[in-house]
A = this chain, B = another copy of it.
Amino acid sequence: MKLNRKQIQAASGAIPADIVIRNGQVIDVFNLKIIHAEVAITDGLIVGIGGHYEGETIIDAKGRFVAPGLIDAHVHIESSMTTPSQFAKAVLPHGVTTVIADPHEIANVSGVKGIQFMLDDSEQIPLDVRIMLPSCVPATPFEQAGAILTAHDLRPFYNHPRVLGLAEVMDFPSVKNCANDMIAKLADAKARKKIIDGHGAGLDNTGLNIYRTAGISTDHECTNADEALERIRRGFYVMIREGSAAKNMKALLHAVTPRNSHRFLLCTDDKHLDELLDEGSIDASIRLATNLGLDPLIGIQMGSINAAQCFGMFTKGAIAPGYDADFLLLDSLEDFRIFETYVLGQLVARQGQYIGPELLPHQHASYLKRTLRLPKITREQLQIPIKNGTANVIGIIPNSIVTDHLMARVNVKDGYFLPCTDSDFLKLAVIERHHGSGKIGLGIVKGFGLKTGAVAATIAHDSHNLMVTGTNDRDILTAIQAVEKLQGGIAIVADGQILASLPLPIGGLMSDVPLPEISNGIRSLSQALIAIGFDGNFDFLLTLAFLSLPVIPSLKLTSSGLFDVMNFEEIRV
């Protein structure tokens, strides 16, 4: 933001402010106190708190709390299955006015074109979308993604004013072994004094030391308080994640004290649209933290100024002069009930409804459509030979993207695995879908609890190949064909019939229709999942989508086959 004489004049009272908020209880995120003070705003900037200001417009807060707009410190917008412009309409009513987005998913499908699309679609919208450049496309050498991004490919994006740094570095071996292109990516970010996000899932202390030495300064993959404290003491900012699949608040909150709370941020990472709409985003994290006993002021601090501080956004995250007038009026602090959301002084949401400027999905995304290239898949290609009745099985942990690595006896017929709904062993397949190579990885999964049918989707982290699970081969094949016909999306099938489907034509990841339609489509999917036996105790689709991510422990499946994350090697079923 540039220096503006009008703002200085308004601060001094020489001219009236554009807006004055009266009768508010202002959240002071620096002292962690509540103060009674007027707030004056001019040209989108807070120019004064305290004292008495004249204003062109007066907002009577009627005793409500005035809190800074929230910041989601790390989010893959694609996981909402909406584009940034539609995502904005979902999160602004929940008080999120800035997100730090890593377009890792669309980049894995469409490379630099995907990153550019996310920048274009978020241009001139009320949500402030900052971009971190995907560092690991593909995430590991074991994957078949739609694109490969080198340091050379990323470099031009650093000139974009909304690019803050290098996104989550998840390819730990490349850092440890000083792989040339990884070193180049890290060095590029460092040379420009940009932030480098980490992804330290399961890293031991030596691993953490390596990451910090390489200049990586955040992590959103802690699963317990000890891990959080080990990271904090090494200079990491720890992001507490509450997403659809991964929920870490309860476990990490023990690590937060008034002495170190300024080193914690909040993020959603991956959250489905229906949950964003129903439950919320960072507001839900603050609500949960408060319910678990945290001072709500610390919750707000973690969800606002801390992220601004970490990422060098020096005009974001506080109700104080010199800060952007992104603010919330709250009816209550205890349950963080949001009355209104303002961005740069403009009202954009009231009582859960987006009421800002009309936002249509970006119309020039045709180059990201028709991304599926699949050969014909036959039943024979889906057979899993089992040697002695024992198999390596992926065990789902509800509400986590970490899996168990199970060794289990499974049903075998004619030397091949036979799914069994009673003992809940389902077939799982990941089919390369970017290049038509015909590569298929096969595995067995326990924990979905389906009683019939199959589910296929083109969302499968991080390479976003075609992921399918099911109780029988016929439904599995039907689901694959349904998704292929959609040119990307999700299909739920039983008895050879499509029960529900959602087209995701943009890269096979995002919808191109307005928000309410997407929302309806997702609700149909949820109903269909219940119809085929899912008990609804966790997010089925996100959990499925993460079964192919080989940088999260313990056992995963890629289009190359089963992957033992702890030993970082492929293994047989």
How far, in Å, is A434 (CB) from chain B's closest CB?
31
The reply to whether A235 and B323 form a contact with Cβ atoms under 8 Å apart is: yes
The one of B8, B28, B186 that contacts A175, using a Cβ cutoff of 8 Å: B8
B234 touches A320 (CB 8 A): yes
| With known contacts A31-B232, A233-B31, A309-B309, A51–B11 Cβ distance under 8 A | no
Asked if A260 CB lies within 8 Å of chain B CBs, one says yes
Which of chain B's residues has its CB closest to A14's CB? B176
Expressed in whole angstroms, the Cα–Cα distance for A147 and B134 within the complex equals 50
What's the dominant secondary structure at chain A's contact region?
A: mixed
**A33 CA to B3 CA in the complex, in Å?**
41
Residues of B within 8 A of A233 (CB): 28, 30-31, 33, 35, 49, 320
Q: Does A208 contact B (CB under 8 A)?
A: yes
Distance between Cα atoms of A314 and B50 in the complex (Å):
33
Chain A 199-241 interface mask (CB, 8 Å, partner B; 1/0): 0000001101110111111000000000001101111000000
Q: A35-B233, A233-B30 are in contact. Are A178 and B48 (CB under 8 A)?
A: no
Tell me if A379 counts as interface (CB < 8 A to partner B).
Answer: no
Does residue A32 face the partner (Cβ distance < 8 Å to B)?
A: yes
**Residue A405 CB within 8 A of the other chain:** no
From known contacts A33-B233, A215-B3, infer whether A205 and B51 are also in contact, taking CB-CB under 8 Å: yes
B187 contacts A3, C-beta separation under 8 Å? yes
Bitwise, A7-31 to B at CB < 8 A (1) or not (0) is 1111111000000000000001011
Which residue of chain B has its CB nearest to the CB of A206?
Answer: B51
- CB-contacts of A310-343 with B (<8 A): 312, 314, 318, 320-323
Tell whether A258 is near chain B: CB-to-CB under 8 Å. yes
> Chain copies in the assembly?
2
A550 to chain B minimum Cβ distance, whole angstroms, is 21
Which of A10, A12, A33 neighbours the largest number of chain B CB atoms within 10 Å of its CB? A12
Whether the Cβ atoms of A322 and B50 lie closer than 8 Å is no
Given the complex, which residues of B lie within 8 Å of A272, measured CB to CB?
A: none
Q: Indicate whether A262 reaches chain B with its CB closer than 8 angstroms.
A: yes
Contact A176 B210 (CB under 8 A): no
Are A213 and B8 also in contact (CB < 8 A) when A3-B187, A32-B260, A259-B31 are? yes
Contacts of A7 in B (CB 8 A): 213
A314 touches B31 (CB 8 A): no
Most-contacted residue by chain B among A33, A209, A323 (CB, 10 A): A209
B190 engages A322 (CB within 8 Å): no
Q: A178 touching B212 by the CB < 8 A rule?
A: no
Tell me, rounded to whole Å, the shortest Cβ–Cβ distance linking A480 to chain B. Answer: 42
Question: With a CB–CB cut-off of 8 A, which chain B residues contact A3?
Answer: 183, 186-187, 190, 214-215
A257: B residues at CB distance < 8 A:
31, 258
A373 within 8 A of B: no
Partner of A258, one of B210, B213, B258: B258
Which chain B residues border A205 with CB–CB below 8 Å? 48-51
B11 touches A322 (CB 8 A): no
Nearest Cβ in chain B — how far from A462, in angstroms?
Answer: 24
Report the minimum CB–CB distance from A326 to chain B (whole Å): 14
**Residues of chain B lying within 8 A (CB to CB) of residue A49:** 205, 209, 233-234
Chain B proximity mask over A452-473: 1 for CB below 8 Å, otherwise 0: 0000000000000000000000
CB distance from A504 to the nearest CB of B (A): 38
Q: In the bound complex, what is the Cα–Cα distance between A290 and B262 (angstroms)?
A: 23
A254 an interface residue at 8 Å Cβ cutoff? no
Once the chains are docked, how many angstroms separate the CA of A260 from the CA of B33? 10
Q: Assuming the A-B contacts A31-B233, A51-B206, A260-B32, are A45 and B213 also in contact, with contact meaning beta carbons closer than 8 angstroms in the complex?
A: yes
User: Which residues in chain A, 488-506, are within 8 Å of chain B measured between CB atoms?
Assistant: none
B47 & A213 in contact (Cβ 8 Å cutoff): yes
Asked if A193 is at the interface (CB within 8 A of a chain B CB), the reply is yes
Assembled-state Cα–Cα distance A524/B479 (Å): 93
* A5 engages B178 (CB within 8 Å): yes
- The answer on a CB contact under 8 Å between B263 and A30 is yes
A210 / chain B contacts, CB cutoff of 8 Å: 8, 11-12
Is A2 at the interface (CB under 8 A from chain B)? yes
* Contacts A32-B260, A259-B31; A47 near B209 (Cβ below 8 A): yes
Q: Is the CB–CB distance between A176 and B8 below 8 Å?
A: yes
B321 with A212: CB separation less than 8 A: yes
Most buried by B among A32, A187, A206, A229: A206
Given A49-B234, A262-B262; 8 other pairs, CB 8 A cutoff: A8-B214, A11-B206, A13-B206, A45-B213, A46-B213, A212-B322, A235-B323, A258-B258
- A to B CB contacts below 8 Å, 29 in the list: A2-B187, A3-B183, A3-B187, A3-B215, A5-B178, A8-B175, A8-B178, A9-B178, A10-B213, A11-B209, A11-B213, A12-B176, A12-B206, A12-B210, A30-B233, A30-B263, A33-B233, A45-B213, A50-B209, A50-B230, A51-B205, A209-B321, A215-B322, A217-B314, A234-B320, A234-B321, A235-B321, A235-B323, A259-B261
Minimum-distance CB pairs A-B, first 5: A212-B321, A48-B209, A212-B322, A235-B320, A11-B213
